[in-house]
Structure 1
Amino acid sequence: MARYEMSSIDCGAMGAAATGTVLFQLGLMYAVGRSVPVDRVAAHKWFNLAAREGVAEAARLRKELALEMAADEIAEAQRAARRWLGQA
């Protein structure tokens, strides 16, 4: 399995090459705090992008995560996903 070491995930380094699987793994990374601090907004963002690429498990986890988030956090995650798409 490939391992991605990046100092800043949001730098757009993956660009259009990011697959749903990679995006899903980033969501998991932020959801559980694997190598990064737990960040629900970032996790939601990556799950949202992975779901857009057809990863059904990402859609399920995004929905579950959203139950623990405030409306403004969800809105922030959605904005971040749109910004990332603009960079890709």
Structure 2
Amino acid sequence: MASHPVTEVQFLHAQMAAAMAGQPDAYYELGVAYAVGSSGVDIDLVEAHKWFNLAAMSGDERAQLDRSEVAASMTPAEVAAAQRGARAFLMQTRH
């Protein structure tokens, strides 16, 4: 049986499912997707910051750097919105 390449949308759905399961690598990949507008999503710095923040809280040093880079292009209100989004995600996914 032939293997089919994973589409960008399938990749995004897989990363979202992994993030919901608490996998830090997925947080980082989602941050990248939203930061550069890949995997079928538009650039959204608030979402990018949220996912990089979640990855950084899990110890991902790349995410710490990327979060800072994204934050430099955001307003304080946008950073606050991203932080609220990260907290809401954690509250939603904690069992």
Question: Which TM-score bucket, shorter chain as reference?
Answer: 0.7 to 0.9
Q: What is the root-mean-square deviation in Å for CA atoms of aligned residues?
A: 2.0
Identity %: 43
What are the Cα deviations for residues 23-63 of structure 1, in whole angstroms up to 9, with x where unaligned? 00000000000010000000000000000111100010001
Bigger relative contact order, structure 1 or 2 (CA pairs below 8 A, ≥6 apart): 1
Residues 5-24 of structure 1 mapped to structure 2, 5 A cutoff:
5-6=12-13, 9=16, 14-15=19-20, 17-24=21-28
Return the alpha-carbon distance in structure 1 between the equivalents of residues 46 and 83 of structure 2.
9
The verdict on how the C-alpha distance between 1:5 and 1:69 changes in structure 2, with shifts beyond 3 A counting, is: closer
The corresponding residue for 2:34 is 30
**In the alignment, structure 1 residue 65 sits paired with structure 2 residue 90:** no
Unpaired segments of 5 or more residues in structure 1?
A: none
What are the Cα deviations for residues 57-87 of structure 1, in whole angstroms up to 9, with x where unaligned? 0010001111110000000000000000001
Q: Which runs of 4+ in 1 moved over 2 A?
A: 2-6, 12-15
Unpaired segments of 5 or more residues in structure 2?
A: 1-5
TM-score, scaled relative to structure 1:
0.84
SS at match of 1:38: coil
Verify the 8 A CA contact 1:19 1:53 in the aligned structure 2: no
The corresponding residue for 1:4 is 11
Verify the 8 A CA contact 2:53 2:67 in the aligned structure 1: yes
TM-score, scaled relative to structure 2:
0.78
Return the alpha-carbon distance in structure 2 between the equivalents of residues 28 and 13 of structure 1.
15
Return the alpha-carbon distance in structure 2 between the equivalents of residues 14 and 5 of structure 1.
10
Matched pairs, number: 82
Larger Rg: 2
